[in-house]
């Protein structure tokens, strides 16, 4: 029997090859993702190990606030007065205060270097005097000394053409200042750690310019010979109050490494979702290919049964074929995955995230998991066709091969309806009831919805294919009619082929609808809620911002009426880590219409106050005047009184605090953005040029009017969702291979029929055209189903998120038309190979009687 299987494999290698490609793509993407994240992980592991190599103990604030999502813990700086205490501990060879914060160079072109919001961080440091504690190694010049000197990392120096002795501008929390480059440094062996830019000052200068006067971010300690890290940590801890903690270098490294792993976990999961979608689509292709192959070989199967092969043997022979296909595809896929990882890595390098070329880190799981998944999926998808093969009665050996043209059965309608119903129910439960594992429930619901439609597919495929093909028949006559009838003749096959495309198109159109709805909501929110004229953005996200002197200078402008700065800090509110904005209490309320429901935003000018989104307050059971516990990294737990509730969550978020409260509880003051309203009678042009006269000194500041402000928010949403669509194209490509494969197999089956058509005068061009239109009909069928599902998903999600700022469903008709046109083109493309094959058919072989 094995021998027969082997021969079968060889005989169908072309057909199995396309199946293998479907598995291969998904497996390669999965393996590539795993290898890449492992590589990034081990690179960061190495980075932290290098940074902390000479550090035996670190002293830092014990209080930490975590806002999750891989941002790590945020801690207060420590007072510099404890340094002598640490230095005095027995076994300390040397102890130094570290200072780090936001610092961004201004390039020769006058633009800020790097973008900490999207790329690697832009960091300011204090130069460490101790060789062991300092991971930096000068490549040129001298260490920084005095308030006017800075050392630049070699990568930035090379890119911007900075040399020792040059004057450079550095943006920090305390403003834009000129420094002289005293030296150029490397980080260990690399020019820059993962693309970050480094501005290194002497310790006093760093404290002053980074906004940490009298403070250290933490204190690094190196042990005297003979003292272990653990011993030293215990001794240092004993010398300090419990508000500080002394951790060993090893523990710190482990902690930083695990934080990176957490952050990578999101990235990993995000990419793996697309690998899983690709494999899900691949399942349809495998199922379909095996179904068709088995049907075409039913005579061969029957013959095997007739000469004494058992059912299990027939089942086994098909399954072994699947195992071999799956194994070969998965192994090749894993190898291809290494290529995918390299491509992704180069892509990241192009984005400025330079992962040092330390080779790829291949963990056993990155090889084993994709191979096992690829094989299991192939075998599972081939199981049902294999079982059908084993049921072929021996007598079928004597019959003509019949193509399965059935589609409707009561069983199918009932089963499909049940699966679809369950899918939709899960989707609604996940979206509206919001259980703890909502994402998993919604995901499961979506998968079942797709499966349900796929099961029902054969029932609707024939009439739908005829409907879609109607205009084609009108247009193309006989060729069109042949295409239409061929697409409709084998509903199971057509529907499984179309279903694969349906998934990709469904998800793409869902994302497009989500994008359009989010965009419209953002625009209407800005339109309604933002009553100012301009916004000055730092574009530095959480990692930096504008020095407060920008807002102060803007306030002095006669053209500007109201100024409201917005800062952000990490804080734990009622036990949950989050980002809390601090706003100017007077100005913010006038520039942003938050729909205040109770109290007044101007009361935020009182110390220890907070304003809360009214719905959130209701959920928490909070009333105006209640106090809420907020833990700030710098000051620890604080009792804040609720002085206002508001209804517009899109602008306000869940919480707002006033600048007095913010400044009292945070160390570094950096404005994330500054909202402006012009003085009465000042034109937009006058206003803008006045504002730019201030911001010109700060190249990281971007002046936006209301439309540009909305555009910039929309832009962020757009780039994320476009990335998702690009990754979904993977699934679409697999579906196209599926269409090509089905057509090729069908053409093989129709040899006689095609030969007849050619004999009675169908030209090659006409035959190609018929195959092409058949392909287009199948592609459009999948597209129509996909669009319907995408619309449904979009509608459901927008409804479910209506309390989170979604105004309503927006259907991007133009883009959906583009989807249809692309599907049309893809159908044409998928038909190229099968059509050529059909046209090349030898007329004589085709009409020869068997």
Partner 1 sequence: MTAATTTAPTAIAARAVDATKVYGKGDTEVRALDGVTVDFPARAFTAIMGPSGSGKSTLMQCVAGLDTLSSGQVFIGSAELSQLSEKQLTLLRRDKVGFVFQAFNLVPTLTAYENITLPMDLAGRKPDSEWLQEVITTLGLADRLHHRPSELSGGQQQRVAVGRALASRPDIIFGDEPTGNLDSRSGAEILTFLRDAVTRMGQTVVMVTHDPVAASYADQVLFLADGRIVDRMDEPSAERVLDRIKQLGR
Instruction: Label the pairing between strands 122-126 and 215-216.
Output: unpaired
Among 81, 241, 813, 849, binds partner 1 (CB under 8 A): 849
478-517 positions binding partner 1, by CB under 8 A? 478-479, 481-482, 485-486, 489
As measured in angstroms, the least distance from the Cβ of 396 to partner 1 is 18
As measured in angstroms, the least distance from the Cβ of 489 to partner 1 is 6
As measured in angstroms, the least distance from the Cβ of 394 to partner 1 is 25
The Cα–Cα gap between 323 and 280 comes to 17
The Cα–Cα gap between 187 and 560 comes to 45
Q: Give, as one character, the DSSP assignment of residue 429.
A: I
As measured in angstroms, the least distance from the Cβ of 475 to partner 1 is 12
Among 758, 806, 810, 838, binds partner 1 (CB under 8 A): 758
- Using DSSP's 3-state secondary structure scheme, residue 215 falls into strand
Among 70, 753, 815, 833, binds partner 1 (CB under 8 A): 753
As measured in angstroms, the least distance from the Cβ of 490 to partner 1 is 10
The Cα–Cα gap between 519 and 375 comes to 41
Q: Which stretch binds partner 1 (CB under 8 A): 245-253, 560-568, 753-761, 799-807?
A: 753-761
157-216 positions binding partner 1, by CB under 8 A? none
Q: Which stretch binds partner 1 (CB under 8 A): 354-362, 728-736, 748-756, 828-836?
A: 748-756
Q: Which stretch binds partner 1 (CB under 8 A): 65-73, 381-389, 443-451, 759-767?
A: 759-767
As measured in angstroms, the least distance from the Cβ of 405 to partner 1 is 9
622-641 positions binding partner 1, by CB under 8 A? none
Q: If binding means CB under 8 A, how many residues of this protein chain bind partner 1?
A: 26
The Cα–Cα gap between 267 and 725 comes to 16
Using the minimum distance from each CB to partner 1, give the nearer residue, 557 or 778.
Answer: 778
Task: Report which of 684, 683, 703 is spatially closest to residue 693, judged by C-alpha positions.
Answer: 703
Using the minimum distance from each CB to partner 1, give the nearer residue, 210 or 835.
Answer: 835
Alpha-carbon separation of residue 499 from 16, 255, 413, 452 (angstroms) = 20, 46, 16, 10
Using the minimum distance from each CB to partner 1, give the nearer residue, 418 or 843.
Answer: 843
E strands of 224-354, at which residues? 244-248
Among 101, 699, 755, 794, binds partner 1 (CB under 8 A): 755
In DSSP terms, which residues pair with 729 in a beta bridge?
none
843 binds partner 1 (CB under 8 A): yes
Using the minimum distance from each CB to partner 1, give the nearer residue, 485 or 711.
Answer: 485
Task: Report which of 788, 274, 753, 715 is spatially closest to residue 509, judged by C-alpha positions.
Answer: 788
Among 395, 759, 817, 818, binds partner 1 (CB under 8 A): 759
As measured in angstroms, the least distance from the Cβ of 25 to partner 1 is 33
Positive or negative: CA dihedral 309, 310, 314, 319: negative
Using the minimum distance from each CB to partner 1, give the nearer residue, 503 or 835.
Answer: 835
As measured in angstroms, the least distance from the Cβ of 478 to partner 1 is 4
As measured in angstroms, the least distance from the Cβ of 744 to partner 1 is 19
As measured in angstroms, the least distance from the Cβ of 494 to partner 1 is 13
As measured in angstroms, the least distance from the Cβ of 738 to partner 1 is 22
728-747 positions binding partner 1, by CB under 8 A? none
Q: Which residues contact 25 (CB under 8 A, 6 or more apart)?
A: 278, 282, 333, 730, 733, 734
763 binds partner 1 (CB under 8 A): yes
Using the minimum distance from each CB to partner 1, give the nearer residue, 43 or 479.
Answer: 479
Among 222, 631, 757, 789, binds partner 1 (CB under 8 A): 757
As measured in angstroms, the least distance from the Cβ of 850 to partner 1 is 8
As measured in angstroms, the least distance from the Cβ of 461 to partner 1 is 15
Q: H/E element holding 573?
A: strand 560-573
The Cα–Cα gap between 280 and 456 comes to 17
Using the minimum distance from each CB to partner 1, give the nearer residue, 81 or 849.
Answer: 849
Using the minimum distance from each CB to partner 1, give the nearer residue, 140 or 481.
Answer: 481
As measured in angstroms, the least distance from the Cβ of 778 to partner 1 is 15
Using the minimum distance from each CB to partner 1, give the nearer residue, 381 or 775.
Answer: 775
As measured in angstroms, the least distance from the Cβ of 12 to partner 1 is 24
The Cα–Cα gap between 19 and 291 comes to 12
606 token code pair: 């009182």
Using the minimum distance from each CB to partner 1, give the nearer residue, 183 or 458.
Answer: 458
Using the minimum distance from each CB to partner 1, give the nearer residue, 421 or 477.
Answer: 477
584-613 positions binding partner 1, by CB under 8 A? none
Q: What phi and psi, each to the nearest 5 degrees, are found at residue 521? A: -65, -45
766 binds partner 1 (CB under 8 A): yes
Where does residue 694 rank: exposed (0-12), middle (13-18), buried (19+ CB within 10 A)?
buried
Do residues 488 and 461 touch, judged by C-beta distance below 8 A? yes
Q: Cα-Cα-Cα-Cα dihedral of 812, 814, 815, 820, to 10°? A: 120
Among 204, 353, 756, 820, binds partner 1 (CB under 8 A): 756
E strands of 99-228, at which residues? 100-106, 122-126, 136-141, 149-153, 167-172, 175-187, 197-201, 215-216, 218-223
**Residue environment code for 138-168, b if the CB has 16+ CB neighbours within 10 A, otherwise e:** bbbbebbeeeebbbbbbbbbebbebebeeeb
299-318 positions binding partner 1, by CB under 8 A? none
73 binds partner 1 (CB under 8 A): no
Where does residue 573 rank: exposed (0-12), middle (13-18), buried (19+ CB within 10 A)?
buried
The Cα–Cα gap between 798 and 376 comes to 36
**Residue environment code for 759-794, b if the CB has 16+ CB neighbours within 10 A, otherwise e:** eeebeeebbbbbbbbbbbbbbbbbbbbbbebbbbbb
Do residues 545 and 537 touch, judged by C-beta distance below 8 A? no
Using the minimum distance from each CB to partner 1, give the nearer residue, 688 or 758.
Answer: 758
In DSSP terms, which residues pair with 246 in a beta bridge?
59
398 binds partner 1 (CB under 8 A): no
As measured in angstroms, the least distance from the Cβ of 750 to partner 1 is 9
Using the minimum distance from each CB to partner 1, give the nearer residue, 813 or 849.
Answer: 849
- Using DSSP's 3-state secondary structure scheme, residue 599 falls into strand
Q: Which residue in the block uniquely carries the two structure tokens 């021996």? A: 394
452-481 positions binding partner 1, by CB under 8 A? 477-479, 481
Binding stretches for partner 1 (CB under 8 A): 477-479, 481-482, 485-486, 489, 752-753, 755-766, 843-844, 847, 849
């Amino acid at each position: 029997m094995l021998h027969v299987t082997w021969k079968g494999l060889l005989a169908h290698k072309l057909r199995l090859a396309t199946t293998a490609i479907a598995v291969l793509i998904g497996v390669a993407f999965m393996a590539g993702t795993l290898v890449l994240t492992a590589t990034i992980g081990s690179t960061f592991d190495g980075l932290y190990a290098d940074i902390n190599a000479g550090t035996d103990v670190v002293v830092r604030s014990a209080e930490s606030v975590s806002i999750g999502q891989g941002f790590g813990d945020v801690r207060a700086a420590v007072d510099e007065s404890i340094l002598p205490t640490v230095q005095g501990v027995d076994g300390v060879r040397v102890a130094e205060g570290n200072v780090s914060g936001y610092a961004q160079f201004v390039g020769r072109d006058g633009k800020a270097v790097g973008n900490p919001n999207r790329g690697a961080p832009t960091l300011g440091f204090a130069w460490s005097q101790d060789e062991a504690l300092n991971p930096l190694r000068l490549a040129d010049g001298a260490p920084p000394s005095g308030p006017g000197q800075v050392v630049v990392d070699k990568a930035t120096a090379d890119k911007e053409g900075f040399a020792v002795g040059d004057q450079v501008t550095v943006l920090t929390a305390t403003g834009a200042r000129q420094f002289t480059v005293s030296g150029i440094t490397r980080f260990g062996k690399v020019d820059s750690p993962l693309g970050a830019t480094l501005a290194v000052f002497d310790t006093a200068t760093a404290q002053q310019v980074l906004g940490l006067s009298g403070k250290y971010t933490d204190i690094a300690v190196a042990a005297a010979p003979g003292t272990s890290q653990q011993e030293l940590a215990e001794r240092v801890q004993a010398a300090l109050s419990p508000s500080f903690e002394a951790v060993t270098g090893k523990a710190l490294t482990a902690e930083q490494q695990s934080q990176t792993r957490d952050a990578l976990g999101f990235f990993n999961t995000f990419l793996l979702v697309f690998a899983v979608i690709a494999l899900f689509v691949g399942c349809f292709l495998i199922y379909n290919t095996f179904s068709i192959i088995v049907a075409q070989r039913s005579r061969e199967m029957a013959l095997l049964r007739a000469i004494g092969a058992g059912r299990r043997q027939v089942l086994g022979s098909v399954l072994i074929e699947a195992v071999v296909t799956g194994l070969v595809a998965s192994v090749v896929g894993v190898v291809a995955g290494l290529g995918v990882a390299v491509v992704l890595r180069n892509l990241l390098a192009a984005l400025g995230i330079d992962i040092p070329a330390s080779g790829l880190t291949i963990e056993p799981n990155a090889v084993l998991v994709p191979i096992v998944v690829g094989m299991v999926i192939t075998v599972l998808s081939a199981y049902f066709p294999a079982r059908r093969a084993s049921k072929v009665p021996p007598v079928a050996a004597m019959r003509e091969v019949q193509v399965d043209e059935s589609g409707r059965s009561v069983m199918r309608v009932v089963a499909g309806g049940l699966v679809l119903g369950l899918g939709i129910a899960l989707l609604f439960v996940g979206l509206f009831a919001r259980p703890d594992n909502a994402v998993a429930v919604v995901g499961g619901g979506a998968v079942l919805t797709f499966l349900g439609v796929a099961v029902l597919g054969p029932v609707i495929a024939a009439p739908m294919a005829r409907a879609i093909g109607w205009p084609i028949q009108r247009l193309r006559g006989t060729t069109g009619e042949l295409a239409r009838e061929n697409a409709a003749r084998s509903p199971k096959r057509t529907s499984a082929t179309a279903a694969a495309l349906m998934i990709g198109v469904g998800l793409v159109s869902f994302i497009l609808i989500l994008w359009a709805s989010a965009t419209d909501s953002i625009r209407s929110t800005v339109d309604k809620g933002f009553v100012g004229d301009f916004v000055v953005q730092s574009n530095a996200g959480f990692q930096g911002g504008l020095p407060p002197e920008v807002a102060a200078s803007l306030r002095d402008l006669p053209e500007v009426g109201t100024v409201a700065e917005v800062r952000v800090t990490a804080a734990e509110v009622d036990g949950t880590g989050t980002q809390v904005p601090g706003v100017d209490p007077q100005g913010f309320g006038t520039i942003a219409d938050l729909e205040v429901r109770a109290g007044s935003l101007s009361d935020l000018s009182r110390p220890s106050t907070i304003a809360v989104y009214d719905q959130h307050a209701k959920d928490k059971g909070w009333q105006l005047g209640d106090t809420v516990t907020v833990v700030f990294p710098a000051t620890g737990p604080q009792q804040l009184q609720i002085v206002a509730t508001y209804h517009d969550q899109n602008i306000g978020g869940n919480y707002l605090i006033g600048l007095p409260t913010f400044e009292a509880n945070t160390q570094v003051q950096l404005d994330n953005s500054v909202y402006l309203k012009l003085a009465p009678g000042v034109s937009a042009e006058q206003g803008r040029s006045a504002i730019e006269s201030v911001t010109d000194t700060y190249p990281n500041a971007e002046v936006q009017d209301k439309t540009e402000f909305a555009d910039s928010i929309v832009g962020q949403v757009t780039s994320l969702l476009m990335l998702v669509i690009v990754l979904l194209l993977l699934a679409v490509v697999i579906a196209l291979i599926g269409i090509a494969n089905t057509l090729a197999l069908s053409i093989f089956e129709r040899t006689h029929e095609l030969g007849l058509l050619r004999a009675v005068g169908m030209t090659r061009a006409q035959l190609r055209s018929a195959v092409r239109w058949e392909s287009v009909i199948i592609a459009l069928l999948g597209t129509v189903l996909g669009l319907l599902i995408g619309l449904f998903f979009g509608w459901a999600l927008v409804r479910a998120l209506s309390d989170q700022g979604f105004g309503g469903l927006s259907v991007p008709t133009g883009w959906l038309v583009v989807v249809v046109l692309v599907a049309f083109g893809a159908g044409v493309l998928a038909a190229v190979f099968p059509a050529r094959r059909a046209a090349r058919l030898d007329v004589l072989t085709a009409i020869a009687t068997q």
